[in-house]
Amino acid sequence: MSDGRGASALQQPQPQPQPALQRLRAMTASDLDAVMAIETRAYDFPWSRGNFADSINAGNVAQVLADADGALLGYFIAMPGVEEMHLLNLAVEPLLQGRGLGAVLLDAVLLAALRYGARVLWLEVRPSNPRAGALYARFGLHPVARRRDYYPALDASGNRCREDAIVMSAAVDALCRRRGVG
Catalytic residue among 93, 136, 151, 163: 136
The torsion of the CA quartet 32, 26, 89, 101, rounded to 10 degrees, works out to 100
Can you list the alpha helix ranges (DSSP code H) found in the chain? Answer: 32-42, 49-57, 101-115, 130-139, 172-179
- Known catalytic membership, residue 124: yes
Catalytic residue among 43, 84, 116, 124: 124
DSSP 8-class letter at 88: E
SS3 readout for 41-73: HHCCCCCCHHHHHHHHHCCCEEEEEECCCCCEE
- Known catalytic membership, residue 116: no
State the catalytic residues.
Answer: 124, 136
